[in-house]
Amino acid sequence: MINKISPSVEEALAGIYDGATIMIGGFGGAGQPAELIDGLIAQGAKDLVIVNNNAGNAEIGLAALLKAGRVRKIICSFPRQADSYVFDELYHSKKIELELVPQGNLAERIRAAGAGIGAFFTPTGYGTELADGKETREINGRHYVLEYPIHADFALIKAEIGDRWGNLTYRKTARNFGPIMATAAKCTIASVHEIVELGDIDPEVVVTPGLFVKRIVKVPRTATGPAGFKKD
């Protein structure tokens, strides 16, 4: 019998190793798997490469992982925000490496990994420092930059409902990068707020099929706080 349900966050995260590339879902606070990130901090893996939309807010979630000194490199679109002072300090003191990727390119590079695409051309970034050292090509009079997929060893994502096969649905915009990250990682671990019996999720509404998910774990429902704001 297929049963991908882990009894605890600790067991769900078992096997994450030093030096792993980990995709973490979320757009600011929305869809960020906070319990999995806290569990990763407790688990102790270090020298990580993190793929995320941003570089953390205040000192919670992803920012807490950075503050703990576990991250060697971050690949993201929005590293700096009003409350990204943890990343700012690490970056200016050369304690973390940054690969800046325009958001559309980030999403497409992740999607390309899951779809088995070897590389793709995009106009985004052409003529800027982000294209330095990359192959460029003119196609039908427009200039493009060659970008490569981003693959991951693990993906930590947050979903709304799951079943024992790992089928997932999400809550509105909290899905953001979750579905494409699930396809691009060797091992996807999802936190969910509700686990239902197999067959209770209408196949027509499944967003991430269980084929792409290795483990799910139920976590309490908590309010998502604001992110990206500077406290007075």
Phi, psi (rounded to 5 degrees) for 217 = -145, 135
Quote the pLDDT of residue 53.
93
Task: Tell me the two tokens of residue 181.
Answer: 């990250």
The pLDDT of 50-56, averaged and rounded, is: 92
Q: Domains of the chain, with CATH numbers?
A: 17-100+151-218 (3.40.1080.10)
Q: Give me the sheet containing 161-162, strands edge to edge.
A: 168-169, 161-162, 194-195
Quote the pLDDT of residue 65.
95
Quote the pLDDT of residue 4.
97
What is the rounded average pLDDT for all residues in the chain?
93
Please name which of 150, 146, 148, 149 lies closest in space to residue 121, comparing C-alpha atoms: 146
In the structure, what pLDDT confidence band is assigned to residue 229 with cuts at 50, 70 and 90? very low
Quote the pLDDT of residue 45.
96
pTM over 0.75: yes
CA distance 150 to 107: 9
pLDDT tens sequence across 125-181:
999 999 999 999 999 999 999 999 999 999 999 999 999 999 999 999 999 999 999
In the structure, what pLDDT confidence band is assigned to residue 124 with cuts at 50, 70 and 90? very high
Please name which of 130, 165, 114, 219 lies closest in space to residue 122, comparing C-alpha atoms: 130
Residue matched to tokens 């936190």: 191
pLDDT at 58 over 90: no
